[in-house]
């Protein structure tokens, strides 16, 4: 019983982490059809920004809750700035090119941003554990759960609802849905697709930075964290369907619960599980669980 509960709770926490890092990636792909490798950089910049913010805040002995908000705010601001620079400075110039070219451009930008991190923060690692430690823990049977982890699950759920509601019930969300459905028809109806692209990319970048920010208190913020994340995020998005918010949520839950079950019941196959699920889904549904194959335009 305790193992079943542990699998469920661990699966939810891991799924929350995966959703937080994958939602921005899938949003950008859905609207812009760009497989954005720099999403790993957004995550890394968010984590570094958050670690710096935590250092500044807690060194002054200010309140814990304020520290969390400050950390998230700083990270998302960094995401906004980097997203704007990348979209206006680089991606704008390659719109309309082959998708492979755009992936390579984002990969090049990712490598450049890795070096920018070394230039700004140096090679040392940064701890930002105060928000996690100050959140405390709760005992459930033999298990002790971190309140911070529970907060992550709540945050991921709230974000999923907020994104769904925004797409469904706000004007911008409906415009976005039209662009996702068919950008040429959207443009024909007078929607300013360029502005939609810029805003979407910035929102995606801010979501990536948010993922890094909320994970920073759990991890040691160090070089290379963006690389690890981008691989996982791609797996989740591929399972759910490229560009589908619901798909990212379900993909994260499948991977999170599958991995937690493997760790508890058969740890030797833990690494295998994530990619086995992905291979299985893609074998039967090559476009992912929530994306329909699109007819080719002539």
Task: List interacting residues with other proteins (CB under 8 A).
Answer: 2-3, 6-7, 9-11, 13-14, 17, 114-115, 118, 123-125, 127, 129, 132-133, 135, 137, 142-146, 148-149, 215, 217-225, 228, 259-260, 263-264, 267-268, 270-271
Q: Measured between alpha carbons, how far is 44 from 52 in angstroms, rounded to an integer?
A: 12
Report the nearest approach of other proteins to the CB of residue 258 (Å).
Answer: 11
Nearest distance, CB of residue 111 and other proteins, angstroms: 11
Nearer to other proteins, 49 or 217 (CB): 217
CB of 266 to other proteins, least distance (A): 11
- The smaller minimum CB distance to other proteins, of residues 126 and 201, is found at 126
CA distances from 292 to 100, 175, 177, 234 (A): 21, 20, 15, 18
Q: Which residue number, 114 or 246, has a Cβ lying nearer to other proteins?
A: 114
Measured between alpha carbons, how far is 42 from 63 in angstroms, rounded to an integer? 27
Q: Least distance to other proteins from the beta carbon of 50, Å?
A: 14
Nearest-approach distance from CB 14 to other proteins, in angstroms? 6
Smaller CB distance to other proteins: residue 193 or 273? 273
Return d(Cα 42, Cα 109) in angstroms, integer: 11
- What's the min distance (Å) between Cβ of 195 and other proteins? 36
- Give CA separation, 48 vs 75, 77, 120, 255, in Å: 8, 12, 10, 26
Q: Which residues of 110-132 are buried (b: 16+ CB within 10 A; e: fewer)?
A: beebbeebeeebeeeebebbbbb
Distance CA 34, CA 253 (A): 24
**Between residues 14 and 234, which has the closer beta carbon with respect to other proteins?**
14
The terminus-to-terminus CA distance of the chain in angstroms comes to 56
Is the CB of 24 or the CB of 226 nearer to other proteins? Answer: 226
């Amino acid at each position: 019983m305790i193992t079943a509960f542990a699998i469920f709770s661990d699966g939810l926490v891991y799924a929350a982490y995966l959703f937080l890092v994958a939602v921005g990636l899938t949003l950008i792909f859905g609207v812009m059809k760009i497989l954005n490798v720099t999403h790993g950089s957004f995550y890394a910049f968010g984590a570094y920004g958050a670690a710096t913010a935590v250092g500044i805040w807690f060194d002054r002995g200010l309140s814990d809750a304020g520290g969390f908000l400050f950390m998230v705010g700083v990270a998302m601001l960094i995401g906004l700035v980097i997203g704007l620079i990348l979209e206006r400075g680089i991606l704008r110039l390659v719109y309309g090119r082959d998708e492979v070219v755009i992936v390579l451009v984002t990969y090049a930008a990712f490598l450049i941003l890795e070096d920018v991190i070394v230039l700004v923060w140096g090679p040392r690692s940064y701890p930002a554990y105060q928000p996690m430690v100050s959140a405390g823990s709760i005992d459930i049977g033999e298990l002790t759960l971190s309140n911070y982890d529970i907060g992550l699950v709540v945050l991921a759920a709230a974000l999923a609802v907020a994104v769904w509601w925004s797409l469904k019930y706000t004007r911008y969300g409906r415009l976005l849905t039209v662009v996702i459905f068919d950008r040429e028809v959207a443009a024909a109806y007078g929607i300013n697709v360029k502005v939609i692209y810029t805003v979407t990319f910035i929102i995606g970048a801010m979501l990536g930075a948010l993922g890094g920010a909320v994970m920073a208190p759990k991890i040691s913020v160090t070089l290379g964290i963006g690389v690890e994340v981008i691989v996982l995020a791609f797996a989740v998005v591929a399972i759910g369907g490229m560009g589908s918010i619901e798909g990212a949520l379900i993909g994260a839950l499948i991977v999170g619960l599958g991995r937690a079950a493997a760790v508890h019941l058969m740890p030797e196959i833990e690494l295998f599980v994530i990619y086995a699920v992905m291979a299985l889904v893609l074998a039967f549904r090559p476009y992912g669980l929530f994306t329909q194959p699109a007819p080719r335009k002539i």
